[in-house]
Amino acid sequence: MHHLRVLALCTLIATTLATPARALTLLRDPDIEHALKQLAEPVLKAAGLSPTRTDILVIDDGSLNAFVVDRDHIFIHSGLLLKMQTPAMLQAVIAHEAAHIANGHLMRRPVNMRNARTAAGLGAALAAAAAIASGAGEAAGAAALGVQTSAMRRFFAHTRAEENAADQSGVRYLATAGIDPQGAVQVMDIFRGQEALSRYRQDPYARTHPLSADRFRVVKRLADAYAGKTRDNAAAAYWFARAKGKLSAFQRAPKWTLTRAGEFGYPDVRRMREAIAHHRRSQTEQAVAAIDAAIAQRPKDPFLYELKGQILMESRRFQAATAAYGRAVNLAPKNALILGSYGRALLAEGQIGKAQDYLEQARARDGRDARVMRDLAVTYARQGNKGMASLVTAERYAMTGRLQDAGLHAQRASDMLPRGSTGWRRAQDVLSAAQAAERKRR
């Protein structure tokens, strides 16, 4: 589908589930992730968590869900993000998930998820999340994690006691951060009545976060106690508009976007959304004009240059795309997704050595971008480094759940790379995951 291609989604889970249609995909966009980090920062600080260490990542799924797999990641479905009407509602979701981390609820999980930052570890964890969220395929998810199916069913399902504790902590975090806790009430109101539905008709969030009328009343009472003690936050409103505005522009029809482009009230957000809509209609000149108008309003915003680079790259204007991405890198030299996009543009121009440098920087800062792994494999192969090409290919397959293919490439990498080297050890990680999955299948 065109709207998924232009947003450069990385397929994360494919064959570990019985039905490929249930696969989870990570939606990697530097602007959206930056906006979510801005919204999450005060909440995470109130929870005693590190805003720099805890990443807020978006799953491309229209259902309503949010979950955690370890201390370092909070995942939000795109459907839930688009359902949120205010920054406080989205921050309430983040606060609730942060409470599960801060309150130690992950400690009872039947598997050790400390390795979720590795390609194989994160792929296995999200295979499990996909299995549970679908209400089926639990055996496949259990095999990916190497645990019994009965334990798998408990992996993401929070107890009512945990939910009550997370509710109270989440409301307290919001109030401490000066955010209106009524956002938590509004979120819970979305799911009221779902407990009366059959399991397969419930949203995944309702399945893994059991809701009751008593919980709703308690949260409302707690939120009411903080009435008048919150403050307006113009920055939160802006970043909410950036995240939701960009996501909806890529996921809704261009005509829908163009009729609502200015709904958030920010001129640059309007121009950004118009640029996306025109780009998706293959109206490159209008798209470039719109993004240039947004850049004129925020000339030091790296994410607008990154979007311009994407528009030009996907219009096959590689030289202009490289220039736009280069400007984005100058403004945000540590952003892994921007570094990866710049490396991709350099690769398209044939600057293999320079492309490898930036792609390796991107890979070192964020090992969860499957497109960077694919591009790195190309650069290594073109320069004759077959061992590293096989390694990053193995890691990419591991992230997409193709553990049998991952194991084959990891074995090749292990045979070619110096024993004991960093690359060799990375290959062993993938091999271990592939072998564990194979044992479970037998």
Which of 204, 225, 246 is the endpoint of a domain? 225
pLDDT one-digit tens code per residue, 372-419: 999 999 999 999 999 999 999 999 988 877 888 999 999 999 999 999
**Shared domain check, 299 and 218:** no
Check residue 196 and report its DSSP letter.
G
Q: Does residue 247 lie within any of the structural domains?
A: no
Note the pLDDT of residue 44: 98
Please determine, for residue 180, whether its predicted confidence score (pLDDT) is greater than 90: yes
Which tokens hold the place of 313?
Answer: 């790259």
What are the phi and psi torsion angles at 347 (to 5°)?
-65, -40
Amino acid (1-letter code) at residue 311: I
Comparing 153-162, 192-201, 348-357, 378-387, which segment has the lowest mean pLDDT? 192-201
The residue among 225, 240, 274 that closes a domain is: 225
> Do 205 and 338 share a domain, yes or no?
no
Domain-embedded: residue 234: no
In a shared domain, residues 132 and 269: no
398 belongs to a structural domain: yes
Looking up residue 411, the CATH number of its domain turns out to be 1.25.40.10
Query: 262 and 141, same structural domain?
Result: no
Of 31-40, 94-103, 140-149, 343-352, the range with the lowest mean pLDDT is 140-149
Distance CA 124, CA 127 (A): 5
- Angstrom distance (rounded) from CA 343 to CA 353: 10
Query: Per residue in 355-365, pLDDT tens?
Result: 999 999 999 99
Question: Is residue 285 located within the same domain as residue 198?
Answer: no
Give pLDDT, residue 191: 79
User: Which residues make beta-bridge pairs with 74?
Assistant: 56, 68
Residue 200 has pLDDT above 60, yes or no: no
298: in domain: yes
> Are β-strands 25-27 and 55-59 bridged in parallel, bridged antiparallel, or unpaired?
antiparallel
- Say if residue 20 is in the same domain as residue 79: yes
Mean pLDDT of 150-168: 66
CB 264 within 8 A of CB 251: no
Is residue 235 one of the residues assigned to a domain?
no
Which tens digit of pLDDT belongs to each residue from 398-411? 887 788 899 999 99
**In terms of pLDDT, which residue wins out, 23 or 388?**
388
Name the band, by pLDDT with cuts 50, 70 and 90, for residue 5.
Answer: very low
Give me the half-sphere count of Cα atoms (radius 13 Å) on the Cβ side of residue 181: 25
Confidence of residue 229 (pLDDT cuts 50, 70, 90): confident
Task: Let me know whether 21 and 80 are in one domain.
Answer: yes
Structure tokens at 251: 């996921």
DSSP H or E stretch at residue 26: strand 25-27
Give the pLDDT of residue 158. 57
Strand partners, 70: 73
Q: Residue 219 is inside which H or E element, if any?
A: helix 213-225
Cα of 323 vs its chain's centroid, Å: 27
> Strand pairing of 66-70 and 73-77?
antiparallel
| Rounded distance between C-alpha atoms, residue 127 and residue 210, angstroms | 21
Distance CA 181, CA 376 (A): 45
Tens of pLDDT, residues 293-346: 999 999 999 999 999 999 999 999 999 999 999 999 999 999 999 999 999 999
**pLDDT above 50: residue 223:** yes
In tens, the pLDDT along 269-291 reads: 999 999 999 999 999 999 999 99
Asked if residues 120 and 398 have their Cβ atoms less than 8 Å apart, the reply is: yes
pTM above 0.95, yes or no: no
Helix (H, G, I), strand (E, B) or coil at 77: strand
- Report the alpha-carbon distance of residue 336 to residue 372 in Å, rounded: 10
Give me the residue label for tokens 């479970």. Answer: 440
Identity at 371, one-letter amino acid code: R
Note whether 402 and 264 are same-domain residues. Answer: yes
HSE of 417 in the Cβ direction (CA atoms, 13 Å)?
22
211 in Cβ contact with 266 (< 8 Å): no
Instruction: Return the structure tokens found at 177.
Output: 């951060």
Q: Domain tally for the chain?
A: 2
Other Cβ atoms closer than 10 A to 312:
24
Beta bridge partners of 77: 59
Same structural domain, 273 and 404: yes
Query: Is position 248 within any domain?
Result: no
Q: What's the rounded Cα separation, in Å, for the pair 339 and 328? A: 9
The whole domain housing 324 covers 254-441
Which helix (H) or strand (E) is 396 found in, with range?
A: helix 386-399
Sheet holding 73-77, edge to edge: 10-11, 25-27, 55-59, 73-77, 66-70
pLDDT tens readout for residues 106-129: 765 544 444 555 666 666 666 666
* 169 φψ region: left (φ > 0), alpha (ψ -120 to 50), beta (else): alpha
Residues 124 and 181 in one domain: yes
Tell me the CB-side half-sphere exposure of residue 301, using CA atoms within 13 A. 22
Domain assignment present for residue 89? The answer is yes
Give the Cα separation of 312 and 284 in Å (integer): 8
Residues 359 and 260 in one domain: yes
Residues 220 and 268 in one domain: no
Q: Output the CA angle 350-332-242, nearest 5 degrees.
A: 110
